[in-house]
Structure 1
Amino acid sequence: MKKIAMALLLGVAVYSTGVSATDVDQQQVVKQYSVLVSASYQDSLSSARDMQGKINAFLAAPSPQTLKAAQAAWLEAREWYGQSEAFRFYGGPIDSETGPEGFINAWPLDEAYIDGVKGKPKAGIINSKAAITEAKLRSLNERGGEENIATGWHAIEFLLWGQDLSRDSAGQRPFTDYTTAPNAKRRGEYLKLVTQMLVDDLASVEKEWQPNQQNFRAQFEQGGNDSIKKIFTSLGTLSRGELAGERIEVALDTQNQEDEHSCFSDNTHRDIVSNAKGIQNVWEGRFVRRSGEVVAGASLKQLVAQKSAAVADAVSSDMATSVKNAEAIVAPFDREIIGKKDAPGRKRVLAVVDALKNQTKNLVEAAKALGIKRLNTSV
């Protein structure tokens, strides 16, 4: 109660289920997880809609100022989407066989599949005669190769920033690409459409987690131990297979800018932080919303602590270290990964990988403490 009173004194709204550390049960944890997921997707959707408003304003009156505002809105929206990735990897609404994740966040992206690039000014869908319609872009997404990405966050990112051809800054796409450049009108139509598609896809996921509906959330809350296992699978897979592996170790191995997550905007360091925070949010059953409201309640941490306080403390410590180390990465990420093993940047990035590996190992132990013997943490 003292913590809640202090938060209210500071002007921060707090939502809590009122569950103490000594009376948490499986069902309460599952229900609180649903509350957290719903709140997170609401914020991701609302920030994407705010971004859409800035993009539409830019397209209506292209200028350096309106382009910068659209870019800033993309960066802000990514913070909220990144935290929601802790709800993936178990066949939920976001990435089931029919889920929209591949249209939302697929990467890495071959820029020349969408638009002209250095040395190939007439490349891409924008410079072709292909129809710029939702059906066409969905059909073209990942057609003929995983890097042939036509939609989602990174298509929008590329259209806002352009190629990153600088060592020390993000892409420098001029606003005139939407005014006097060849195919400027088609470029604007493309950006407007893929932004609308992203908003629609996020809305479809958010709807499946709304309370008191006949949707995925209603089924999930009746899943008992299976739902607990899904939560652990999501955390473990994002920690080890996806974030430590696909998103960081691959780039460290190749030292290639094309293998970083948000290479056009130089936002990869923040992608890593938001993913790490998302994992921590789920473990703690706590989420700080865009409004400042704190959503808090029964957590996996509490549930595991009732079986093994030592294991729960180890996971919590590892997650705090993961977030701290991720925040220590110096932008731009594509410079951090360059050099020999003992290069300061590489050491900072490797520290994140090590922390993520440790927290995954302890997440497996935490699952075992709850009777979950086998946990897949690969992508």
Structure 2
Amino acid sequence: MPTRFAQRPLRRAVLLAALLPASAIASEGDVTAEKVVGHYADLAHANFDDALGAARTLDQHIEALLDNPSQETLQAARDAWRQARIPYMQTEVFRFGNPVVDDWEGQLNAWPLDEGMIDYVKSDDYQHELGNAGATANIIANQSIQVGGEQVDVSELTPELLADLNEIGGSEANVASGYHAIEFLLWGQDLNGFDAGHGERKASDFMSGEDCTNGNCERRGTYLETASQLLINDLEWMVAQWAPESDDNYRQALLAESPQEGLRRMLFGMGSLSLGELAGERMKVALEANSVEDEHDCFSDNTHNSHYFNGQGVQNVYTGRYERQDGSTLEGPALADLLASHDAELHATLSSQLEASMQQLGEIKQAAENPMYFDMMIAPGNEEGAEMVNSAIASLVEQTGSIEKAAGALGVDSLQSDDAGHNF
């Protein structure tokens, strides 16, 4: 699977969308709300299908690591994890506004997590949620754990067990499954603070016999293998929810709603990911608190890529264009087409703002590859890093305002994006 970390050349597509009439850029005939919502469902299906394919590739590399633990097979599994984040992070624009996604995503992407619930940690440098009884449960080292007065048999690690352990004891920091649990098992703790460097787990943590380091190597491998299988199971279920050939899934329920309701869900998803989630929870919180614990991909230092591809997902929904992981492109009737036919000036403004936010996120991405990773950018006194993060936040806030105006122009009343309780 080719690496696609470089910023994508969407400027030409955006300029065309801004300059051409809707009828000239529609996939076929005049663009209608019905066609736009239908293509949105196609985008979701393709995007989740790519996430599933990348998760299966990751699983193959995890199997290779466990069959023959070495720094080479460990690095290959890490590379596959990073690659798997590219399509998944673009799917998050479908989360807000679509309950089927929002109710499901926590099992795949919940964070921050108290990693001591899963495996050993270096206690001197371990920061966790205060009062969380599960923060040091260490499932891998134990056959049973006690959290919040509840005794749980964890002797047999299964996908069902890991799913049930999420938020055990009522703490959202007790995360047993998903991308970040896998990330922790592949990288280990990042003990570098605001300095360069990610987690440095050794391949010997998965070796057998006398070569095993930190104990419980076979069980650690079983946990990693089980978490990977649960990730695939969950993504298979979501792909089926958007499949066009089904008569009884979420896609059909969405298309049975009024076209205006479909547009509302699209615009709410774009605005809420832009504002409350990406600008707020994932950037503003970490910067204002100077908190590496609030970094999204904190074990791998992959946060800059996750932020970038979140932004890409927002742009994908607006332009109706998604570059698939095999290099092909899915295009069709889009919000951009529809807005251009209703308010060409607002369309041009929003197109420009989306381009600007991608440029800001791209600068963070480029700086991280120099490297000045996100956890270094948010360090106290790093004025350059803070300026880059604040500029991206400002761009995301600005585009959200135009997304809400676009809703009004398209007849969607009173759209208010989720700000997650943040003031901007």
Which TM-score applies when normalising by structure 2?
0.82
Aligned twin of 1:290: 325
Aligned twin of 2:167: 142
Matching residue's letter, 1:125: I
Matching residue's letter, 1:174: K
Extract unaligned runs of 5+ from structure 2.
1-12, 14-23, 127-135, 144-153
Identity %: 40
Residue from 106, 117, 123 that aligns with 2:110: 106
Distance 2:161 2:246 in 1: 32
Aligned twin of 1:176: 204
Matching residue's letter, 2:112: P
Shift of 1:20: 5.8
Distance 1:103 1:20 in 2: 36
CA contact (8 A) 1:212 1:218 kept: no
Distance 1:165 1:115 in 2: 15
Which moves more between the two structures, 342-351 or 184-193? 342-351
Distance 2:108 2:252 in 1: 24
CA contact (8 A) 2:95 2:105 kept: no
CA contact (8 A) 2:81 2:183 kept: yes
Aligned twin of 2:8: none
Shift of 1:136: 2.1
**1:256 equivalenced with 2:291 (yes/no):** yes
Matching residue's letter, 2:180: H
CA contact (8 A) 1:22 1:306 kept: no
Aligned twin of 1:240: 275
Aligned twin of 1:73: 80
Shift of 1:314: 1.2
SS of the residue corresponding to residue 90 of structure 1 reads coil
CA contact (8 A) 1:251 1:337 kept: yes
SS of the residue corresponding to residue 371 of structure 1 reads coil
**1:338 equivalenced with 2:389 (yes/no):** no
Aligned twin of 1:128: 142
- Stretches (4+) displaced over 6 A: none
The 3 A distance-change label for structure 1 pair 199 and 20 is closer
Distance 1:31 1:165 in 2: 46
Distance 2:31 2:205 in 1: 56
Shift of 1:47: 0.6
CA contact (8 A) 2:260 2:411 kept: no
Distance 2:312 2:256 in 1: 27
Shift of 1:204: 0.3
**1:44 equivalenced with 2:60 (yes/no):** no
Shift of 1:133: 2.1
Matching residue's letter, 1:307: H
Aligned twin of 2:253: 219
Shift of 1:93: 2.6
SS of the residue corresponding to residue 221 of structure 1 reads helix
Residue from 190, 208, 215 that aligns with 1:164: 190
Which TM-score applies when normalising by structure 1?
0.92
Aligned twin of 2:133: none
Distance 2:344 2:71 in 1: 54
Aligned twin of 1:28: 35
Output one character per residue of 1:202-255: Cα deviation in whole Å (capped at 9) or x when no partner: 110011111121211122123211111011111111010111011110001111
CA contact (8 A) 1:236 1:377 kept: yes
Matching residue's letter, 1:33: Y
The 3 A distance-change label for structure 1 pair 21 and 374 is farther
Distance 2:142 2:414 in 1: 49
Residue from 328, 336, 358 that aligns with 1:323: 358
CA contact (8 A) 1:109 1:148 kept: yes
Output one character per residue of 1:246-304: Cα deviation in whole Å (capped at 9) or x when no partner: 11100011111110100000000000000000000000000011111111111101111
Which moves more between the two structures, 188-197 or 207-216? 207-216
Which moves more between the two structures, 26-35 or 129-138? 129-138
CA contact (8 A) 1:116 1:123 kept: no
CA contact (8 A) 2:26 2:337 kept: no
Matching residue's letter, 1:115: D
SS of the residue corresponding to residue 328 of structure 1 reads helix
* Matched residues, number: 361
Which moves more between the two structures, 83-92 or 254-263? 83-92
**1:354 equivalenced with 2:358 (yes/no):** no
Extract unaligned runs of 5+ from structure 1.
1-6, 8-16
Distance 2:328 2:226 in 1: 32
Shift of 1:123: 5.1
Distance 1:56 1:18 in 2: 45
**1:195 equivalenced with 2:225 (yes/no):** no
CA contact (8 A) 1:232 1:363 kept: yes
Matching residue's letter, 2:380: G
SS of the residue corresponding to residue 273 of structure 1 reads helix
Aligned twin of 2:64: 57
> RMSD of aligned C-alpha atoms?
2.0
Distance 1:234 1:196 in 2: 28
CA contact (8 A) 1:337 1:346 kept: yes
Output one character per residue of 1:306-326: Cα deviation in whole Å (capped at 9) or x when no partner: 111111111111111111111
Matching residue's letter, 2:245: N
